[in-house]
Amino acid sequence: MQTDWDKLLEKLGIAKAFCDAVHREHAYTVSDEALLKMVNHLGFPLKKIEDSGMLLEKLNNRRWQYVLEPIYVVKAHDISFDAVLRESDADDFELELQSAEGDDVTVEYTYEKTAEKFIGTTKYVRLQIKIDANLAPQYYQLQLRIKDKNYRSTLAVTPQKCYVPRAINEHRLWGFAIQLYSLTSKRNWGVGDFTDLLEFVKMCHCVGADVIGVNPLNVLTHDYPENASPYASVSRLFLNPIYIDVEKISGYRADFLKGNEAELERLRQSPNIDYTGVYNLKISILRKVFAAFRKLKTEYTAFEEYCAEKGEDLEGLAAYQTIYSAYKDKVYNGWRSWPQELQNPRSKAVQDFCAAHADEVLFFKFLQYCAETQLRQVYKKVESYGLKIGLYRDLPVGLSKDSVELWMNESLFIKDCGAGAPPDVFFPTGQRWALGAFNPFALKEAAYVPFIRILRAAMEGAGALRIDHVMSLMRLYILPDNEKEEGTYVYYNFDDMLGIMALESHLNKCMVVGESIGNVPDGFIEKLHDRGLYSLSVVWAERWNGVGDFKAPYDFPKTAFCSVGTHDMAPLRMRWFGGDIETMYQLGMLSEAERHDQYKGREDERIRLLRVLDYNGMWPQDKPRQGDCLYGEGYPNGLTEAVEKYAAAGCSVVYLAQLEDIFGVEVLQNLPGTDRDKHPNWRRKLPVKLEDYTSRDDFNRAMDIISSERE
């Protein structure tokens, strides 16, 4: 029998227990102490478990205290919602709808009473109202009129499934998954930029690729460029200025670089990305460019129009960056250590500060204008070449807790906590990301508008969107900031989140792919597919029962974007030799016994990989397999091409090649669970310049193999 404490946790969506996703699932029971703290982190004050009944009763009564929910997320074929009215008004109300364009929508509706309750001496009833109409998927303004009072809500009418382009069902598409920052070229300034991306689009057109997966492009911390993780941005609404091609901005002159030529060459030749050097050089030159740009009447007018279009969001970002820069050497712990009056983004103190630093605020807006203008040129190039999917963008699961999103709306996020993940097959020690995570209750109160806005920003110009850690639509592993305290899963309004995702996908004509590697609940993938979301698959996970033989290509998941690995996994050549295992061991992330076990597991993986390549005839005719190469004999001749052919032959709707595999890279792009003091995450440059790809034998052979398999 459930206690009040059990019922309270269930109502709040806090997991008392959970399983991890290692080979043998381990069950965890969360202590009552940790659970009690999580109740409070979610914004529900509770001093002791014995008072659970009172809080539970309060929560159960909340729905009787307002007429309409902030938003109703419904399917187009089943439009119904509830309302709470005085019994005396239950048969005397009017329902009005307005479309997103402001047009009145006439509908017929029926209703029935589903519950009743006395509050004091007044009797209230709960109505279930059903609209008998076939409404087009969009957001409607819902108004309930009772005599002289009006009550409003949003009605999100969602399609049954996410948008899927016709090409997905008509072609076996393929493309690349790239980290934009890692691209090297003869002209960039030491980090891949939007002009490199433009040139990459042209190259894809030439080789027949239709998809370009890119890392998150969001703005990072201006004053600390070394905080380079693209998954820990300060805003998911805006872009990282480091990707700006400075030389392409109106007003740029070559003499602006005078005196910096040697530094620029050093940044280009650096084996890893020097984020501080690159960013500071670009910003110093962009300040000169901005001074010249302000004198260009036509261009400056376009900039002013952009600022007006972006409105409060851009104002907030620019204000945050300006204040942050002013206080970076005076306080620690980011915006939470600013003077109290500046911690409120809507205070007069912030307005006065921005007025006193108007030029700096304007400069930060200019950076966003430049970045967005150049990215939009990439969108246009994708469209002109007719790439069937084009950009496949990436939406991070969270963002830096020291961010403008939290500064502007801290109440939207779970207090004093960050997102992470329990142990899984690929990361057996678990992960503490320390990323800000939406509070599911605050998000619903905000009618999901913050979630909608970041979806729209990520979907702009994209043909597909990767949802990082898509399980977060259902639940997210939340860890208190105090590393000594336990974490647990917090559940979201899964049906609502899926519905919003489907609607935004439909409105933006952008298909959705969920990154579902890790601790995936039973039935979760099926629920995604029911709503038209595609999943993400990697070769290393396509094994029977997770640890057995590799699957044949025709057994790969069809409704998936498939790749050999990800940015968090070792490239093919490194994985073959176990370089990732040795890296983790040297960093103290594995014990001697764990290292031994992982090497044994990797040996088994190699044997099974060779077996599936042999059985399915994947070796190049001019590079047949010669020996097993299992015990230090070297890297098998033709292995890269065989694996590319095997993965490309899979029945998944899209195959994404990785340049690190093709070029034989033997270093990790990112090692989860480490910071830059242990491993140069997000700093690896590709060893081949973009201009040289099509002149290389390894690249051309890979293109021939992949394109022939995806015909």
d(CA 301, CA 298): 5
Instruction: Determine phi and psi for 696, rounding to 5 degrees.
Output: -100, 140
Angle at 216 between CA 267 and CA 181, to 5 degrees: 15
Cβ-contact 425, 26 below 8 angstroms: no
Domain ranges across the chain: 4-62, 77-158, 237-374
Contact 324, 334 (CB under 8 A): yes
Q: What average pLDDT does the chain have?
A: 95
DSSP β-bridge partners for residue 112? 128
Two tokens at 228?
Answer: 């380079």
Tell me which of 291-295, 425-429, 630-634 is least confident.
Answer: 425-429
Q: Are 127 and 93 in contact (CB under 8 A)?
A: no
DSSP class per residue in 54-119: HHHHHHHHHGGG-SS-SEEEEETTB-EEEEEEEGGGTTS-EEEEE-TTS-EE---EEEEEEEEEEE
Q: What is the pLDDT of residues 176-215, one digit of tens each?
A: 999 999 999 999 999 999 999 999 999 999 999 999 999 9
Encode pLDDT of 435-473 as tens digits.
999 999 999 999 999 999 999 999 999 999 999 999 999
In terms of DSSP H, where are the helices of 270-357? 275-293, 297-327, 348-356
Written as six digits, the tokens of 448 are 């999901």
Q: What are the tens digits of pLDDT across the range 139-152?
A: 999 999 998 899 99
Fold for domain 77-158?
A: Immunoglobulin-like (2.60.40)
Instruction: Order the strands of the 122-131 sheet from edge to edge.
Output: 80-86, 122-131, 109-119
Q: How confident is the model at residue 137 (pLDDT cuts 50, 70, 90)?
A: very high
Q: Model's pTM, two decimal places?
A: 0.95
| φ and ψ of 518, to 5 deg | 135, -140
pLDDT of residue 518: 79
Q: What's the pLDDT at 520?
A: 86
- CA dist 637 → 564, 576, 619, 641 (Å): 18, 13, 9, 9
Q: Tell me the mean pLDDT in the region 332-348.
A: 96
Q: Are 328 and 391 in contact (CB under 8 A)?
A: no
pLDDT at 50 over 70: yes
Query: Any idea which of 9-23, 49-63, 66-80, 665-679 has the lowest mean pLDDT?
Result: 9-23
Instruction: Find out whether 109 and 192 touch, Cβ atoms under 8 Å.
Output: no
Find the range with the poorest average confidence among 47-61, 452-466, 510-524: 510-524
Distance between CA atoms of 633 and 619, rounded to whole angstroms? 18
Confidence at 429, pLDDT banded by 50, 70, 90: low
Q: What is the mean pLDDT of residues 209-232?
A: 97
- What is the widest separation between alpha-carbon atoms in the chain? 88
Residue 647 CA to residue 557 CA, distance in Å, equals 12
Q: Are 278 and 225 in contact (CB under 8 A)?
A: yes
Confidence band, pLDDT 50/70/90 cuts, at residue 274? very high
User: Is the per-residue pLDDT at 328 higher than 60?
Assistant: yes
How far, CA to CA in Å, does 116 sit from each of 63, 64, 70, 110, 128? 12, 9, 21, 18, 12
Alpha carbons 531 and 499: distance in angstroms, whole number = 8
pLDDT confidence of 96, banded at 50, 70, 90? Answer: very high
Helix (H) / strand (E) containing 237: strand 235-239
Q: Which region among 79-88, 121-130, 418-427, 678-687 has the lowest average model confidence (pLDDT)? A: 418-427
What pLDDT score does 422 carry? 84
pLDDT at 632: 61
Instruction: Please check whether residue 530 is in contact with residue 502, taking contact to mean a CB–CB distance below 8 angstroms.
Output: no
Phi, then psi, of 78 in degrees rounded to 5: -150, 80
Query: Is the confidence at residue 426, as pLDDT, over 70?
Result: no
CA distances from 466 to 470, 516, 612 (A): 9, 10, 29
Crossing angle for the helix pair 4-12 and 32-41, to the nearest 10 degrees: 50
Confidence of residue 490 (pLDDT cuts 50, 70, 90): very high
pLDDT of the residue at 631: 66
Asked whether the predicted pLDDT for residue 688 surpasses 70, the reply is yes
